[in-house]
Amino acid sequence: MLASQSDRDAQKLVTAGIVPTLIFLLKIRAAECTGLELVLATLGLLAHDPLSANTMFRTNTTHTLLELFKASISEEVSVLALWCLNRMCRTAEVANGLIKQGLSRVLLEQGFSPALSTPPIWRMAAYTLGVLIFNDGIAEMVAEQGAVVEIVDLLQRSSDRGGDPQDVCAALYAAARMSRSIKLAKLLAKAGLVPLLAASLATSTDPSVLLWSARAAGCLMRPNSGEMAKTLLDAGVAHGLARLPSVLSVSEVEPLGSFAFAIQRFSCAEWGSGTRKALVEAGVVDALLAGLRTVADEPYPAIHVEMALAVSFLGDVGGGAIRKEIISAGGITILKRVAAVASADVAKVCLMAVTSITGNIWTRNAASAKTAMSHNWNGGCPDWHAPCPVKLTVLRDGFDSVSTI
C-alpha cells in the first residue's frame, strides 16, 4: 500500500481526494460488517496530520469508528477502529469532540475491561486514552470518569501477565499523560502506580518499557512536589533510573531522553539537600554522565538537549560537590564537544549547562533561570501515535489482513 510507505505518500493520496471515497466505503462496509480491515488500516494511515484528521472528524467518521468498536465484530476490527481514532486525535478540538461523543467512557468501560476485551484491545485503548489527554482540563475530566484506577489496574494486569512488553508500555504511556498536576500525580500514586514504576525500572531490559517508565516517573513530579519525590526515592525509582545507561545497547538511545527528563523533574521537585543526596547515592550523577558520553557523537539533538538540561539542573540544585564531580568526570568537555558540532539551539543549551557548572554565582543563577524556562512544564509526555496493529499481506486476489498483535 502506498499510504504505508511514508507520510509524504499518504499526503499524496489525501491531496488526490481519496479520503471522501474511503469514508463512504467505510460506512457502506460498516453496515454490511464485512471487508472492514483494509479500509480501516488505510484510513488510519491517511490520518497522518492535523488537517487530514480534522477532515475525518468533521465528516462524523469518528462516530462510525466508535460504533464499530462497540459492536465487537472481531478483535482486528475493534483494534483497528481504536487505532483510527488514536491517529485522528491530533488537536485539542478533536480530542474534546471525541470525549463529547463518549470515547473516553467507552475506552474505560469496554476497552480496559478484562471481561469484555482482549490484551491487544487493552493496549490500543490505553494508547488512545493517553493521546486523548491533550490538556489539564481533559485530564481532570477523564479522572472523574475513573481513569486513574483503570490505568493502574491495567498496568498491574499487564505486568503480572509476563506477556508482551508493549502492553506495559501502553499503560505507562496513559499514566504519564494523565499525570498533569500534583493532584493527579497523588491520585495515581494512591492507586498504586509508584511500586509498579519502580519494579519496571529495576528489572526490565526492554528499551520501550524503560523509556515510558522513566517518562511516567518524571511526569509525577512538579516544582514543590517534594513529597512525591520522596515517595519515588523511597520506592527505589532513582536506583532504577541509574541503571538505564548500563542496560541499554549502544543503538538504543531514545530512553536516555526520558531518563534525563526524569532527572530534571527530580532536581526541581525539592530544593533541599535530601533529594540531592539521594540522587548521588543512587548513582544518578554517574549514570547521567555515562549517558551523555553515549549520545555525544550520535545525531540525536533532542536527546542532547534533554541531557544538557539535566546536567544544568543538577549543577544548580546539587551544590559544589556535584558540580565538582561533573567537572572531574569530564562532563564539561563532553558538553563543549557536543556544542561545537551541534545546531545553534542545541549548542545554546549545552553552553548554558556549562555555565551552570563552571560560572560564578551570578552567571550560574542566570543559567539556572534559563534552564527552568527551557524545561517542558506542560504535561511532560509527548503525543505519541501507535503504529498500525495489523500487517497487510498482498495476495494474488487482493489483500488479507493478518494480525500481528
- In angstroms, the CA 172 to CA 154 distance is 9
Q: Which of 162, 85, 172 is nearest to 123 (CA)?
A: 172
* Whether CATH 2.40.180.10 fits 194-379: no
Q: In percent, how much of the chain has pLDDT > 90?
A: 54
CB neighbours (10 Å) of residue 118? 12
pLDDT grade, residue 3 (50/70/90)?
very low
The confidence score (pLDDT) of residue 362 equals 83
- In angstroms, the CA 59 to CA 292 distance is 48
Q: Which of 283, 345, 340, 346 is nearest to 314 (CA)?
A: 283
Residue 215 reports pLDDT greater than 60: yes
Top pLDDT among 377 and 313 is at 313
Q: Which of 242, 187, 259 is nearest to 220 (CA)?
A: 187
Question: What cell was used for 150?
Answer: 483503570
Measured over the CA atoms of residue 287, residue 292, residue 298 and residue 303, the dihedral's sign is positive
**194-379 matches 1-101 in CATH topology:** yes
pLDDT grade, residue 352 (50/70/90)?
very high
The confidence score (pLDDT) of residue 368 equals 76
Contact 239, 283 (CB under 8 A): yes
Torsion of CA 50, 52, 57, 59, to 10 degrees: 150
The confidence score (pLDDT) of residue 336 equals 93
CATH code, 1-101: 1.25.10.10
The confidence score (pLDDT) of residue 137 equals 94
pLDDT grade, residue 317 (50/70/90)?
low
Digit-coded pLDDT (tens) for 115-140: 888 999 999 999 999 999 999 999 99
Digit-coded pLDDT (tens) for 28-44: 877 777 778 888 988 88
Contact 359, 335 (CB under 8 A): no
Contact 148, 188 (CB under 8 A): yes
Kindly list the domain boundaries of the chain, sorted by start residue: 1-101, 112-191, 194-379
The mean pLDDT value of the chain amounts to 87
Contact 103, 97 (CB under 8 A): no
DSSP element (H, E) containing 402: strand 398-403
DSSP string, 229-287: HHHHHHHTHHHHHHTHHHHS-TT--HHHHHHHHHHHHHHHH--SHHHHHHHHHTTHHHH
3-state secondary structure of 110: helix
Cell 467518521: give the residue. 61
Question: What cell was used for 161?
Answer: 501477565
Buried b / exposed e along 135-150 (16+ C-beta atoms within 10 A): eeebbebbbeeebbbb
Residue 339 reports pLDDT greater than 50: yes
- In angstroms, the CA 71 to CA 152 distance is 26
Digit-coded pLDDT (tens) for 359-404: 888 888 788 778 877 777 778 899 999 888 887 664 444 444 444 4
Digit-coded pLDDT (tens) for 232-247: 999 999 999 999 999 9
Burial label for 287, CB within 10 Å (0-12, 13-18, 19+), is buried
Residues 260-278, mean pLDDT to the nearest whole number: 83
pLDDT grade, residue 318 (50/70/90)?
low
